[in-house]
Amino acid sequence: MLVAKIGEALVLALGMFWQVGWSLVLGFTLSGVVQAVVPKARMQQLLGRDGVREIALATGFGAVSSSCSYAAAAMSKTLFKKGAALIPSLAFLFSSTNLVIELGAILWLLMGWQFTAAEWIGGVVLIAIMAVLVKLTYPAKLVEEARRHVDEAGGHDHGSMEGEGGSIIDKLRRPATWIAVAQNAAMDASMLWKDLLGGFLIAGALAAFVPDGAWKALFITSAPPAVQTIGNALVGPLIAVISFVCSIGNVPMAAILWASGISFGGVLAFLYADLIVLPLLDIYRKYYGLRMMLYITAIFFVTMVLAALAMDFAFSALHLVPVPNPNIRRDVTLFAFNYTFWLNLAFGALALYLWWLDRTHPMDHAHHHDHHGHVHEHEVTAEA
């Protein structure tokens, strides 16, 4: 019985990966292109105030950056250290883990376009709510304390790999730029693979081992709708906190939760909460100090719950909440020569090409990334 359940969990995890594999390659490639051709020094100069313009710019920069929660935390710290104001630094975090293309693609494939829309619209709502909360509670002394702490912590800034001068099109025509793209994509993948693997395995295990009755009890499905909606929005982030899974790796688990009875807002709160998983909270403590970590955690939790409730209310009012797929466990394990097969074949070839470029032109890693302890930014150089 146990062996059969373990086998079922592994098959489910593999099936989920097959459904979304091509979109991961697409996301890593796009992130690599942006990192290779967009100067980060200029980015940091634009974010020194807490104004609407700076917040909007940070949101845009985050949307085209890496989707890895840990990489986003490292880059956000670099922006803050270089002089970016607190709200743009936090806006970058929310944007880079909620507004990226690959996350939306995976949500669409596994859960429907409504979740993609709610994730992207909700990402903007998250940033707006966070900005208001920080402005209302702005801890000036705590921010200065955090700046001193991050300066004393030292470390290497997250480097960028940019082609020499010229337009973006000119840069993309240069072989050195594509070497940089491959190196950045490989770096993102190396930072994310453990979280992706964990996300798929956790989702597979939950689908195989946890009975629907247990989920229904946790999600208080028998309570009045208003109580269930609020309760699920509060429970969703707590499940994410202890799951240790990042922004993309938690999508398969979200699909299982959705099929098991959690509310629309509860699923969204779970998806939004990838920035407060336990390893990241420890990283915030190392970067900014304990008191700032506690402040960020409180602001993020309240923001995530409020944004999830707002999206639940809006989509319910517009009758856009999709019907859960009770056959998600079966559907993800079905193999067919359909669009998923051909997309995986095409993007698999692209992944092999980028892997080959990275292997033949290795980057110079000053430090490595460790999800379970420190997060070091990488200094990298492109070879012509």
Interval 88-110: pLDDT, tens: 999 999 998 889 887 888 888 88
Nearest Cα residue to 154 out of 366, 368, 372, 376: 376
Q: Rounded to whole angstroms, how far apart are CA atoms 190 and 228? A: 39
Query: What are the tokens at 40?
Result: 């980060």
Q: Rounded to whole angstroms, how far apart are CA atoms 173 and 342? A: 27
CB atoms within 10 A of CB 56: 15
In a domain, 369, yes or no: no
Buried b (16+ CB within 10 A) or exposed e, 361-375: bebeeeeebebeeeb
In a domain, 374, yes or no: no
In a domain, 378, yes or no: no
Q: Which of 204-208, 224-228, 339-343 has the lowest mean pLDDT?
A: 204-208
Number of domains present in the structure of the chain: 1
197-213 average pLDDT score: 79
In a domain, 371, yes or no: no
The backbone torsions φ and ψ at residue 375, rounded to the nearest 5 degrees and listed phi first, read -115, 110
Query: What are the tokens at 32?
Result: 């690599």
Q: Which of 55-64, 157-166, 206-215, 306-315 has the lowest mean pLDDT?
A: 157-166
Question: At a CB cut-off of 8 Å and minimum separation 6, what does 324 contact?
Answer: 258, 259, 261
Q: Rounded to whole angstroms, how far apart are CA atoms 117 and 76? A: 25
**Taking 70 as the threshold, does the pLDDT of residue 383 lie above it?**
no
In a domain, 366, yes or no: no
Assessment of whether the complete model's pTM goes beyond 0.85: no
In a domain, 75, yes or no: yes
What domain range is 258 assigned to?
2-360
In a domain, 381, yes or no: no
In a domain, 372, yes or no: no
